[in-house]
A and B are shown apart, each in its own frame.
Chain A
């Protein structure tokens, strides 16, 4: 029987008014873990853990001993002894196991963490360590594959790799197939001193194979996409290169687009990147060294330099600094840069960040050093000077005067970004006599309806501009270009119409913003953008005196800085032999010396007469006229 309308309304009101317990799920909150620093009292359980582990290890040893003995007994009983060699192999394995159960080693192994352990001869022991290392069986990425190598007698083995990091085709064709099918024909002498050496030499057609005895390096290799092969009875692991993770191919530069010059950009693969540089700078002098960064991750960092040019102490210093970092994880080269640079507190960039292999190559040939971090499509070049950030990759593709013009333009743009709003404010507030009467009156007239002080007006516009820039950056691609137009045009126009800002401020902010995009290096542009606000406040409070003091402090700061042992303002302050490649870019055939400040091994880039053909007779008839 249906409810009548009165009842319905009653229910509805009751639903609304009467308290009901909330239907939300019980709230979750993150528990605080006991702080690591506080030494927890040794509990009986913790004290016994070592002993328990020790017993476990003994148990696994006993089990494998038992297996061997049983197998041996069986063989003996069946009378299937083919040669004395099999006994010898078995004996060798057992004696190997014997060495591991010495009380001292047992006690040490029992209390050390899995990654500190040595590779054991016992396969079961290794498996147990791997399981602990990779948190098996929860961790589904780590795959343990057991196999038997058909030698006489057959040897059990185990492969460990990370799914997704390896190329399964390589795995099958270069490891499993030769080991399981063809090894019997190859490895004839099972009793030889080193079984692993024999297997590496005879049955593994993979391109990079190495041996390891400790789990630290085993772990690092597996993490970077290698496969570890453990063989029963051998206290060594074979690490086989099977890297095959998904990687982006070489694309076009996104942040450093040029009209001329190479159009390749770095990608995330470290080896792809070093390969790109090497293919641009084909020299046997080009050295690539690897340093691991991050205690937990061991991310590879490649340091590249031209051994016959770069100053050896510079290379040593960079290696020293990178090796001296003690941190858990470095994910980006920008982070790494902050760890190693001289003045992390100063806004100006102290390394040139580039995504172009050709740019790296040209700097390497000048005697600088580049470093690339695995998984980051950028290379950093050190040492650099202030002026390097106003150069672009294609400067040397154009004729000298064109490049010089562009470089001067970029420097002017830099100072426009830094100073235009502050000059406006300083002159507006303190020195109106410095402008022609008509302009003063035009500014005054435009501001007549604006109720805010000029400082507020400028900051308001600066703020909106930075918002547009930051918003435009985060907005999905398709909308990105629209937001620029909408933001800049509509906002500016509307702000003027609404008498919130005066048109002249819109012009000034637009010019400033435009100029900041003309600085080729993003980090340098960022530094100028930030300093602009400091200048703005100085100008509003102290006028031109404030701007001048700000500039002076900035110059002092720049002159006091060093980028990896080279003064930041070189070759201007201190004065060094410049190569017509600072602001004015001279002709290419006049660039005879490498930069003076880099103190390279070989200073001469090209002889005084680099165009030898000018001294020679032309190929055809000489024009006598």
Chain B
């Protein structure tokens, strides 16, 4: 309700902070609501003593709206979804298709396009249950924080509901969301992909990173959709390549094998020098994609002590970076071609080549994409050397 009758006192409203949706038997949904308890949050600072700040309720219902109505029966306050920060969808439901979920979301007044959409490995209920941030008082704040700083590493891309919806309805390109998971906190390493040398970092899916302690909930990688159905996952390293290609990569650390002393590492802070230059052309229904990427690096550590800052040695580092990036990028693109999902949305670069929208829709880009020939050129430049301009060897 809105308008004159829409006035609500805060004590008549239950503010929902996160919603998890899972597939249940009989074509039903398990909807988990994370509801804030305002009593514990008011009157400044008193709530530090471990008082419960959120309540979790799971309702089984045939639809989202029905679930909300059923929730009302037990909560005693009208659930208000305008402050939902994060929508978590279970992997099973995502693979079944999200069309029926996203449609109502974008139409209903209380939903906002700026809510984050996340696909959880396992069930959404488990993710919401296990999510227990230590630094933040509220899980909603955690979601805002963790998705807001995605640009710090590029290991996951923040995905808002609106973006997902737009990608879903566009003729070319495939939608994607952040991938979430629960880390068992056992410290066991379960990489999904071996490192692509010279990059040292193995590819992980969320929950597989060796870690002990901290919030079990973790975000990494990307869930790839074809249409409204999830068809695959990208690891964190692959997601970083996706970020570079989408021009959304402000910075991230890179661990490389030392070109001269292969058993040693060098560490670099890299960022996108300019928006990637992507050229797509269509020759006899075979797309050809030319990618030019400029990466700028800053040295943060050279463990071997080799003087890579020197003019004559600098190209070695630059080549090493360029090699690592182009290899990883190629792997990622091959994977998406195999999945037949154009996550980067190369299709949009074809738009200037056609006259109108109908012509563009007629191309059927998603069918052509798997056959595309992709040429990658990565240009790496070492711009800064950190706070040292020369490394001296250790004297014995």
Tell which of A433, A444, A453 touches B42, judged by Cβ atoms closer than 8 Å: A444
A428 to chain B minimum Cβ distance, whole angstroms, is 7
Chain B neighbourhood of A565, CB < 8 A = none
Beta-carbon nearest neighbor of A445 in chain B: B42
Question: Is B368 at the interface (CB under 8 A from chain A)?
Answer: no
Identify which of residues 412-465 in chain A touch chain B, using a CB-to-CB cut-off of 8 Å: 428-430, 432-433, 437-438, 440-449, 453-454
Most buried by A among B6, B9, B17, B36: B9
What are 29 inter-chain pairs, A to B, with CB distance below 8 A? Answer: A429-B7, A429-B9, A430-B2, A432-B8, A432-B10, A433-B82, A433-B112, A437-B138, A437-B140, A437-B144, A440-B15, A440-B83, A441-B15, A441-B36, A441-B38, A442-B41, A443-B10, A444-B41, A445-B40, A445-B42, A446-B43, A447-B9, A448-B10, A448-B11, A502-B42, A503-B43, A541-B7, A543-B6, A543-B7
A447-B11 contact in complex given A438-B141, A442-B41, C-beta closer than 8 Å: yes
A453-B138 contact in complex given A433-B82, A440-B15, A445-B42, C-beta closer than 8 Å: no
A274 to chain B minimum Cβ distance, whole angstroms, is 57
Proximity bits, B53-87, A CB within 8 Å = 1, else 0: 00000000000000000000000000010110100
Beta-carbon nearest neighbor of A447 in chain B: B10
Question: Is A302 at the interface (CB under 8 A from chain B)?
Answer: no
Beyond the given pairs A444-B11, A447-B10, 14 more chain A to chain B contacts, judged by CB atoms under 8 angstroms and listed by A's residue number, are A430-B2, A432-B8, A437-B15, A437-B140, A437-B141, A440-B83, A441-B138, A442-B42, A444-B36, A445-B38, A448-B10, A448-B38, A543-B6, A543-B7
Chain B neighbourhood of A429, CB < 8 A = 6-9
Are A448 and B42 in contact, with the CB atoms below 8 A?
yes
Complex: how many Å from CA A502 to CA B11? 13
Identify which of residues 11-28 in chain B touch chain A, using a CB-to-CB cut-off of 8 Å: 11, 13, 15, 17
Question: Is B110 at the interface (CB under 8 A from chain A)?
Answer: yes
Complex: how many Å from CA A433 to CA B13? 12
Chain A neighbourhood of B17, CB < 8 A = 437
Tell which of A437, A440, A453, A541 touches B4, judged by Cβ atoms closer than 8 Å: A541
Question: Is B383 at the interface (CB under 8 A from chain A)?
Answer: no
Are A430 and B7 in contact, with the CB atoms below 8 A?
yes
Complex: how many Å from CA A17 to CA B83? 74
Question: Is A542 at the interface (CB under 8 A from chain B)?
Answer: yes
Complex: how many Å from CA A424 to CA B44? 19
Tell which of B4, B13, B41, B110 touches A542, judged by Cβ atoms closer than 8 Å: B4
Are A446 and B83 in contact, with the CB atoms below 8 A?
no
Question: Is B375 at the interface (CB under 8 A from chain A)?
Answer: no
Question: Is B52 at the interface (CB under 8 A from chain A)?
Answer: no
Question: Is A540 at the interface (CB under 8 A from chain B)?
Answer: yes
Question: Is B314 at the interface (CB under 8 A from chain A)?
Answer: no
Question: Is B39 at the interface (CB under 8 A from chain A)?
Answer: yes
What's the interface size class on A, roughly? 20 to 34
A494 to chain B minimum Cβ distance, whole angstroms, is 15
Most buried by A among B7, B15, B80, B85: B7
Complex: how many Å from CA A543 to CA B41? 26
Complex: how many Å from CA A542 to CA B38? 26
List the 9 closest A-B pairs by CB distance, nearest first. Answer: A445-B42, A433-B82, A444-B38, A444-B10, A429-B7, A445-B38, A446-B42, A445-B41, A448-B39
Tell which of B9, B44, B83 touches A453, judged by Cβ atoms closer than 8 Å: B9
Identify which of residues 107-121 in chain B touch chain A, using a CB-to-CB cut-off of 8 Å: 110, 112
Are A433 and B39 in contact, with the CB atoms below 8 A?
no
Complex: how many Å from CA A9 to CA B36? 74
Chain B neighbourhood of A446, CB < 8 A = 42-43
Are B9 and A454 in contact, with the CB atoms below 8 A?
yes
Tell which of B7, B40, B43, B110 touches A433, judged by Cβ atoms closer than 8 Å: B110
Chain B neighbourhood of A437, CB < 8 A = 15, 17, 36, 83, 85, 138, 140-141, 144
A428-B112 contact in complex given A446-B43, A503-B43, C-beta closer than 8 Å: no
Q: Show the binding face of A for B, using Cβ within 8 Å.
A: 428-430, 432-433, 437-438, 440-449, 453-454, 502-503, 540-543
Tell which of B2, B4, B42, B83 touches A432, judged by Cβ atoms closer than 8 Å: B83
A16 to chain B minimum Cβ distance, whole angstroms, is 56
A548 to chain B minimum Cβ distance, whole angstroms, is 14
Chain A neighbourhood of B85, CB < 8 A = 437
Are B83 and A433 in contact, with the CB atoms below 8 A?
yes
A26 to chain B minimum Cβ distance, whole angstroms, is 60
Our count of residue pairs bridging A and B at CB distance below 8 angstroms stands at 83
Are B4 and A444 in contact, with the CB atoms below 8 A?
no
Chain B neighbourhood of A447, CB < 8 A = 9-11, 38, 42
Beta-carbon nearest neighbor of B46 in chain A: A445
Are A432 and B43 in contact, with the CB atoms below 8 A?
no
Beta-carbon nearest neighbor of B143 in chain A: A437
Chain B neighbourhood of A453, CB < 8 A = 9
Are B83 and A428 in contact, with the CB atoms below 8 A?
no
A434 to chain B minimum Cβ distance, whole angstroms, is 9
Beta-carbon nearest neighbor of B7 in chain A: A429
Complex: how many Å from CA A453 to CA B10? 9
Are B38 and A432 in contact, with the CB atoms below 8 A?
no
Complex: how many Å from CA A572 to CA B38? 46
Complex: how many Å from CA A445 to CA B112? 23
Complex: how many Å from CA A443 to CA B141? 16
Chain A neighbourhood of B138, CB < 8 A = 437-438, 441
Complex: how many Å from CA A449 to CA B41? 12
Chain A neighbourhood of B112, CB < 8 A = 433
Beta-carbon nearest neighbor of A542 in chain B: B4
Tell which of B2, B15, B144 touches A444, judged by Cβ atoms closer than 8 Å: B15
Beta-carbon nearest neighbor of A503 in chain B: B43
B47 to chain A minimum Cβ distance, whole angstroms, is 8
Complex: how many Å from CA A364 to CA B337? 83
Chain B neighbourhood of A430, CB < 8 A = 2, 6-7
Beta-carbon nearest neighbor of A434 in chain B: B82
Chain A neighbourhood of B6, CB < 8 A = 429-430, 543
Complex: how many Å from CA A445 to CA B141? 16
B209 to chain A minimum Cβ distance, whole angstroms, is 28
Chain B neighbourhood of A449, CB < 8 A = 39
Complex: how many Å from CA A291 to CA B300? 87
Beta-carbon nearest neighbor of B36 in chain A: A441
Beta-carbon nearest neighbor of B82 in chain A: A433
Proximity bits, B236-268, A CB within 8 Å = 1, else 0: 000000000000000000000000000000000
Complex: how many Å from CA A428 to CA B80? 13
Most buried by A among B15, B43, B141: B43
Chain A neighbourhood of B43, CB < 8 A = 445-446, 503
Chain A neighbourhood of B8, CB < 8 A = 429, 432
Complex: how many Å from CA A433 to CA B140? 14
Beta-carbon nearest neighbor of A451 in chain B: B11
Are A540 and B7 in contact, with the CB atoms below 8 A?
yes
Beta-carbon nearest neighbor of B141 in chain A: A438
Chain A neighbourhood of B11, CB < 8 A = 444, 447-448
Most buried by B among A440, A445, A541: A445
Beta-carbon nearest neighbor of B84 in chain A: A437
Chain B neighbourhood of A438, CB < 8 A = 41, 138, 141
Chain A neighbourhood of B10, CB < 8 A = 428, 432, 440, 443-444, 447-448, 454
Complex: how many Å from CA A437 to CA B2? 20
Chain B neighbourhood of A441, CB < 8 A = 15, 36, 38, 41-42, 138
Chain A neighbourhood of B13, CB < 8 A = 432, 444
Chain A neighbourhood of B7, CB < 8 A = 429-430, 540-541, 543
B351 to chain A minimum Cβ distance, whole angstroms, is 34
Chain B neighbourhood of A541, CB < 8 A = 4, 7
Chain A neighbourhood of B41, CB < 8 A = 438, 441-442, 444-445
Proximity bits, B124-147, A CB within 8 Å = 1, else 0: 000000000000001011001000
Most buried by A among B4, B17, B38, B144: B38
